[in-house]
Amino acid sequence: MRILISSRNTLIPAGLRQTLSGSRHHVQAHYFQSIEQLIAKSILERTDAVVLDKSAADVFTFEELLELRKRLPKVKILMLSTMEYLDFIQRCFTTGIEGYLTYDCSPEEIDEALEVMGRGGQFFCQKILTRLLPRLSAPANVQGRSLTDREREIASLIAEGKTNKQIGEVLCISPHTVHTHRKSLMKKLQVSSAREIALYMLAQQ
């Protein structure tokens, strides 16, 4: 995937490029000045996904995201910010922006976000989901599906934001076994991300 990281802060792109240095993705950095410049750069680099650093309220406004989506409908959008923009984050979630991470998310969540987005799914990090879930209703496609006790146990731990390694330690099984359970769980629920598993668990409460 060809990724363009755009920010007014040079530290954010540098840190993300370092984090993704060992990945299969081709990463470029861009100093944000205007949405028109970003669109032109994205076209020039044949970008598949943009990572946008919302460092202030007037940076990457919702209107600018809509313009980006209108002009480059095939480019996936991954937002990055603090939790102070929760209303904005919720608008991104409900309108189908592909991803949203906080500055303190783990490298594993960054990898998962890009993987899910690459498959056409939506990924919002666990910290954001914890704040958003009380505001949201579970989607119809995950309601009414039953899980085994083990699947429910793993789904609950995934919804809490635990990694495969952490779940393995809790359940005394290997991370590989957890990964296998996670894939089976997603197939059974017909979902593609930890976010949707969390929504499923919300619907069961």
Strands annotated E in the chain:
2-7, 26-31, 49-53, 76-81, 99-102, 123-124
CATH 1.10.10.10 fits 137-203, yes or no: yes
Task: Provide the mean pLDDT of the chain.
Answer: 86
Q: What is the pLDDT of residues 126-150, one digit of tens each?
A: 788 778 877 766 555 555 567 888 8
> What is the model's pLDDT at position 58?
93
CATH 3.40.50.2300 fits 2-125, yes or no: yes
Identify the DSSP state of 59: S
φ, ψ for residue 145 (rounded to 5)?
A: -95, 135
What is the average per-residue pLDDT within 18-28? 82
| Of 7-21, 107-121, 164-178, highest mean pLDDT | 164-178
Domain ranges of the chain: 2-125, 137-203
199, burial (CB in 10 Å: exposed 0-12, middle 13-18, buried 19+): buried
| % of the chain surpassing 90 pLDDT | 37
With cut-offs at 50, 70 and 90, classify the pLDDT of residue 13: confident
List residues bridging with 5 in a β-sheet. Answer: 29, 51
